[in-house]
């Protein structure tokens, strides 16, 4: 292996670091116009009238569209259905492109001004006169389900979208809890966070009447899905008349998975005007309208026997979905959350109950980890709290309850109480390694000495599992997905032996152009530079489901491997013919087809040329060397790890300093260690950000009061210590690369480790829980 397992420098970074990336907003088309979206300043209000005449009269204004103009166009659809416990389908209210009657969150789309420049569009927007009648709003899920709360949608009583249950029957879990020697109970808020991709969302609609063709350039993690949703469900345009291009994309963290109204609006408007229409979000719009993450209110109880073995887990969650259902919103608090409540433990009885709730806030959907961080937060906070209450060591308590090691080959996968079968795992090993790295025994001594000197040091643990490599289509279909979740990989060998790979995965920071090329180059025995990775254009890539759920390499990479296998199989036929040998006698390695046991061989490039210039060629074999494959995974794949945080709390101010952070993750086989390290680091920063800094704040009227970088605290480099990370390797048994996923692991595991560490530091005060983010004031108040 020349490349696999090596920290090859990212080939895409040359263009990114020299300012030559090509992002949606960089694209300028002849005759292009610019759109500005007028957004609701209120969380809930009736639009009494809109007067666009002054704006329309302004020089340089091309058009002003309101809800009335798009009345004939469908709204944005939801891609996942969850049913009520009684079998009724979830409430799925319309999500119009432009609201004509009642706005339902601050930032809701009301009108679109299109002008010759974005400056004119924005100035003209100030001339649009909208008369609102403000209505009562509710932003908080716990308040929204109370009697008499303002309704977001009149046909969703108590603001309920669905209620849902998973696991063992409730009576069985209740009985297990009754038999428990000790029950640890916590009430949590897993606060709402805002994704904050560095590149704001942008979209350009370009209709060309010649060919009746619509092109949408957009900041998307999955252009094919956007094409399907927009053409079939929103605009009713035949899919072959729509091309969607997601060029370089500057980060997504989930928020660019979803199909947004603005994408359909610019496409629709371009056809109306017969000119290209560009829209680029301002940062304030990103805060207000990119789908948010998390926002759960939960009660969780974990029961233990006298020896500290977990006997049961009971969880009840209210999930704030915002004002409308974003593309995958219903799936996140249910199938991506409830199914992870087994964690790494042998808990025999688990019941989880989730209610999806509408509120007058920005829609909530998948954000780095999506449901799995929320599940991990519950379990891991319960574990450390239980250890404290039962006077046991938190590391010991975990080791005692871990599922024993299994490789998924010799030993079967582990069947959970919550619908999943884990593929392979060795959980003791990651925690033992993390304990060794932190120097656990010494730390406890240091902590005791520090306490004597009035210093508050704390250590916190989190051992997590996640389900990624999303996902077997038949399984997710049964769970309500309105799409399959396979991936497509085409490998086109050019006549000269150079290789173009077309993947349905989409890179927006992950480094696919490097990692995928490493796999292809090694499997074909060619140079890395001879491989090109193409993604993000529905016109060049046959189909694709995109990148999210840490799936690109496990699913997209496997599709590419399948195509490579077909290339080698066909190449073997050609080589056998050229070498006048039987196919069974040909072996392929290091870029050469060789007759076994001889020095007779033919290079990969010569075979490629023969395939395209088939003068001397096997009878009946098609020319060309180009294969496409769909890969539908047999199972999710399950990375896991152990994270340890060490903190110091300033007694006078409540400020938490993160002193050390140790992360031992197992993401299966690793293709590029440097890229995986980078993914882990980024994930840790986001998870720590949620624990200590981040959180959307809505006031009583549903106003987002910290929607700017002056008010919303992002983690910064100087807030974080130098991370101490390591890995164990437990290969995935069911995909050809043995890889799991690394994109979300850091964000899933790290959050509870930090909070647990602060609670450990504050244990002399008898403090059990502080709501995230752990701001200095909250910590200080808890100490008073």
Partner 1 sequence: MIPANFQYTRAGSVDEAIGMLKQHGDAAKLLAGGHSLIPAMKLRLNQPGVLIDIGSISELRYIRKEGNHIAIGGGATHDDIANSDAFGGGLEMYPQAAGLIGDTQVRNKGTIGGSLAHADPAADWPAVVIASNATIVVKGPGGERQIAATDFFTGFYETALAEDEILTQIRVPLPAARTKSAYAKFMQPASRFAIVGCAAMITSSGGTCSNASVAMTGVGDAAYKASKVENALKGKSLDSGTIQSAAAHAADGAMVMSDHFASEEYRTHLASVFAGRAISAAV
Binding residue for partner 1 (CB under 8 A) from 653, 657, 673, 729? 653
Residue whose CB is less far from partner 1, 460 or 773: 773
Residue whose CB is less far from partner 1, 612 or 780: 780
Residue whose CB is less far from partner 1, 288 or 664: 288
Interaction with partner 1 in 88-127: which residues (CB under 8 A)?
A: 118-119, 122-123
Binding residue for partner 1 (CB under 8 A) from 448, 527, 582, 714? 714
Q: Cα(369)–Cα(190) distance, rounded to whole angstroms?
A: 13
By CB under 8 A, residue 780 contacts partner 1? yes
Q: Cα(532)–Cα(497) distance, rounded to whole angstroms?
A: 12
Distance of closest approach, residue 289 Cβ to partner 1, in angstroms: 15
Distance of closest approach, residue 123 Cβ to partner 1, in angstroms: 7
Euclidean distance between the first and the last CA atom of the chain, given in angstroms as a whole number:
60
Distance of closest approach, residue 534 Cβ to partner 1, in angstroms: 33
Q: Cα(1)–Cα(21) distance, rounded to whole angstroms?
A: 30
The answer to whether 350 and 357 are in contact (CB under 8 A) is no
The answer to whether 228 and 234 are in contact (CB under 8 A) is no
Using a 10 angstrom Cβ sphere, with 0-12 exposed, 13-18 middle and 19 or more buried, the burial of residue 12 is: middle
By CB under 8 A, residue 775 contacts partner 1? yes
Q: Cα(225)–Cα(76) distance, rounded to whole angstroms?
A: 13
Binding residue for partner 1 (CB under 8 A) from 652, 722, 764, 766? 652
By CB under 8 A, residue 146 contacts partner 1? no
x-or-dash string of contact with partner 1, 682-711, rule CB under 8 A: -----------x---x-------xx-xxxx
Q: Cα(38)–Cα(738) distance, rounded to whole angstroms?
A: 49
The answer to whether 233 and 49 are in contact (CB under 8 A) is no
Which 3 state secondary structure label does DSSP give 214?
A: strand
Distance of closest approach, residue 111 Cβ to partner 1, in angstroms: 17
Distance of closest approach, residue 754 Cβ to partner 1, in angstroms: 15
Distance of closest approach, residue 762 Cβ to partner 1, in angstroms: 17
Distance of closest approach, residue 644 Cβ to partner 1, in angstroms: 24
Residue whose CB is less far from partner 1, 474 or 705: 705
Residue whose CB is less far from partner 1, 415 or 705: 705
Using a 10 angstrom Cβ sphere, with 0-12 exposed, 13-18 middle and 19 or more buried, the burial of residue 57 is: exposed
Cα four-point dihedral sign 740, 743, 747, 750: positive
Residue whose CB is less far from partner 1, 602 or 647: 647
Distance of closest approach, residue 122 Cβ to partner 1, in angstroms: 5
Distance of closest approach, residue 284 Cβ to partner 1, in angstroms: 7
Shortest CA distance to 70 belongs to which of 261, 211, 232?
A: 261
Q: How many helices (DSSP H) and strands (DSSP E) are in the chain?
A: 19, 28
x-or-dash string of contact with partner 1, 609-648, rule CB under 8 A: ----------------------------------------
By CB under 8 A, residue 282 contacts partner 1? yes
Residue whose CB is less far from partner 1, 436 or 777: 777
By CB under 8 A, residue 712 contacts partner 1? yes
- Tell me which stretch binds partner 1 (CB under 8 A): 351-359, 603-611, 675-683, 770-778: 770-778
Q: Which residues of 609-642 are buried (b: 16+ CB within 10 A; e: fewer)?
A: bbbeeeeebbeeeeeebbbbbbbbbebbbbbbbb
Give, in order, the Cα–Cα distances in Å from 714 to each of 66, 276, 448, 509, 708. 35, 35, 32, 19, 10
Distance of closest approach, residue 702 Cβ to partner 1, in angstroms: 16
Distance of closest approach, residue 126 Cβ to partner 1, in angstroms: 8
Residue whose CB is less far from partner 1, 284 or 309: 284
Within 10 angstroms of residue 744's Cβ, the number of other Cβ atoms is 28
By CB under 8 A, residue 713 contacts partner 1? yes
The answer to whether 492 and 564 are in contact (CB under 8 A) is no
Say how many residues touch partner 1, by CB under 8 A: 27
Supply the DSSP symbol for 124: H
Which pair of structure tokens corresponds to residue 86? 């009684």
Residue whose CB is less far from partner 1, 22 or 781: 781
Could you write out the DSSP letters of every residue in 597-613? TSS-EEEHHHHHHHHHS
Can you give the C-alpha Rg of the chain in angstroms?
27
Distance of closest approach, residue 273 Cβ to partner 1, in angstroms: 21
By CB under 8 A, residue 283 contacts partner 1? yes
Interaction with partner 1 in 42-61: which residues (CB under 8 A)?
A: none
The answer to whether 772 and 397 are in contact (CB under 8 A) is no
What residues line the site for partner 1 (CB under 8 A)?
A: 118-119, 122-123, 282-284, 652-653, 655, 693, 697, 705-706, 708-714, 719, 775-777, 780-781
């Amino acid at each position: 292996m020349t490349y696999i397992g090596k920290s090859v420098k990212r080939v895409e970074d040359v263009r990114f670091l020299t300012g030559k990336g090509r992002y949606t907003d960089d694209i300028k088309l002849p005759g292009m116009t610019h759109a500005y979206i007028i957004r609701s300043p209120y969380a809930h209000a009736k639009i009494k009238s809109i007067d666009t005449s002054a704006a329309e009269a302004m020089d340089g204004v091309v058009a002003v569209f309101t809800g009335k103009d798009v009345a004939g166009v469908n709204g944005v659809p939801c891609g996942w259905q969850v049913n009520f416990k009684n079998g009724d389908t979830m409430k799925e209210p319309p999500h119009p492109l432009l609201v004509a009657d009642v706005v339902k969150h601050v930032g809701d789309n009301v009108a679109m001004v299109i002008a010759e420049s974005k400056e004119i569009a924005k100035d003209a927007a100030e001339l649009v006169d909208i008369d609102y009648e403000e209505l009562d709003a509710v932003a908080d899920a716990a308040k929204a389900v109370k009697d008499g709360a303002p309704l977001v949608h009149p046909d969703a009583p108590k603001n309920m979208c669905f209620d849902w249950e998973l696991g063992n029957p409730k009576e069985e879990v209740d009985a297990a809890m009754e038999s428990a020697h000790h029950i640890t109970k916590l009430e949590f808020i897993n606060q709402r966070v805002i994704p904050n991709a560095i590149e704001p969302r942008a979209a350009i609609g370009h209709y060309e009447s010649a060919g009746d063709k619509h092109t949408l350039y957009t900041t998307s993690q999955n252009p094919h899905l956007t094409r399907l949703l927009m053409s079939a469900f929103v605009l009713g345009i035949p899919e072959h008349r729509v091309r969607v291009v997601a060029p370089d994309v500057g980060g997504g963290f989930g928020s660019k998975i979803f199909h947004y109204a603005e994408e359909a609006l610019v496409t629709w408007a371009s056809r109306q005007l017969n000119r290209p229409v560009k829209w680029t979000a301002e940062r304030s719009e990103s805060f207000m309208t990119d789908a948010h993450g998390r926002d759960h209110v939960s009660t969780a109880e974990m029961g233990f026997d006298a020896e500290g073995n977990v006997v049961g887990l009971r969880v009840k969650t209210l999930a704030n979905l915002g004002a409308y259902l974003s593309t995958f919103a219903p799936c996140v608090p249910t199938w991506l959350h409830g199914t992870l409540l087994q964690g790494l433990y042998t808990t025999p009885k688990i019941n989880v109950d989730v209610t999806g709730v509408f509120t007058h806030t920005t829609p909530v959907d998948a954000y780095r980890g999506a449901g799995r961080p929320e599940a991990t937060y519950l379990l891991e906070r319960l574990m450390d709290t239980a250890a404290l209450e039962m006077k046991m060591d938190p590391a010991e308590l975990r080791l005692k309850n871990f599922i024993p090691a299994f490789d998924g080959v010799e030993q079967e996968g582990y069947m959970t109480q919550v619908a999943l079968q884990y593929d392979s795992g060795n959980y003791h090993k990651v925690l033992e390694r993390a304990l060794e790295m932190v120097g656990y025994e010494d730390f406890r001594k240091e902590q005791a000495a520090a306490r004597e000197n009035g210093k508050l040091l704390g250590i916190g643990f989190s051992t997590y599992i996640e389900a990624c490599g999303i996902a077997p289509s038949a399984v997710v279909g049964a769970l309500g997905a309105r799409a399959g979740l396979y991936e497509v990989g085409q490998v086109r060998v050019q006549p000269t032996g150079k290789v173009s790979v077309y993947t349905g995965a989409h890179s927006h920071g992950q480094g696919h152009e490097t990692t995928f090329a490493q796999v292809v180059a090694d499997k074909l025995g060619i140079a890395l530079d001879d491989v090109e990775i193409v993604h993000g254009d529905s016109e060049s890539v046959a189909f694709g489901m995109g990148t999210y759920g840490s799936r690109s390499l496990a699913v997209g990479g496997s599709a590419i491997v399948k195509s490579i296998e077909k290339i080698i199989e066909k190449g073997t036929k050609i080589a056998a013919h050229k070498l006048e040998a039987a196919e069974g006698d040909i072996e392929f390695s290091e870029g050469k087809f060789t007759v076994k046991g001889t020095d007779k061989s033919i290079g990969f490039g010569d075979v490629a040329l023969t395939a395209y210039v088939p003068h001397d060629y096997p009878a009946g074999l098609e020319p060309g060397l180009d294969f496409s494959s769909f890969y539908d995974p047999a199972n999710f794949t399950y990375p896991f790890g152990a994270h340890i945080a060490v903190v110091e709390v300033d007694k006078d101010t409540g400020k938490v300093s993160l002193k050390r952070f140790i992360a031992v993750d197992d993401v299966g086989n690793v293709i590029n260690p440097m890229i995986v390290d980078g993914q882990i680091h980024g994930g840790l920063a986001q998870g720590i950000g949620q624990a200590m800094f981040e959180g959307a704040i809505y006031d009583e009227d549903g106003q987002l009061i910290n929607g700017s970088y002056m008010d919303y605290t992002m983690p910064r480099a100087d807030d974080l210590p130098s991370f101490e990370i390591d890995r164990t390797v437990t290969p995935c048994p069911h995909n050809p690369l043995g890889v799991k996923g690394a994109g979300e692991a850091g964000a899933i595991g790290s959050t509870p480790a930090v909070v647990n560490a602060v609670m450990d530091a504050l244990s002399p005060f008898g403090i059990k829980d502080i709501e995230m983010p752990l701001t200095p004031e909250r910590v200080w108040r808890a100490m008073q």
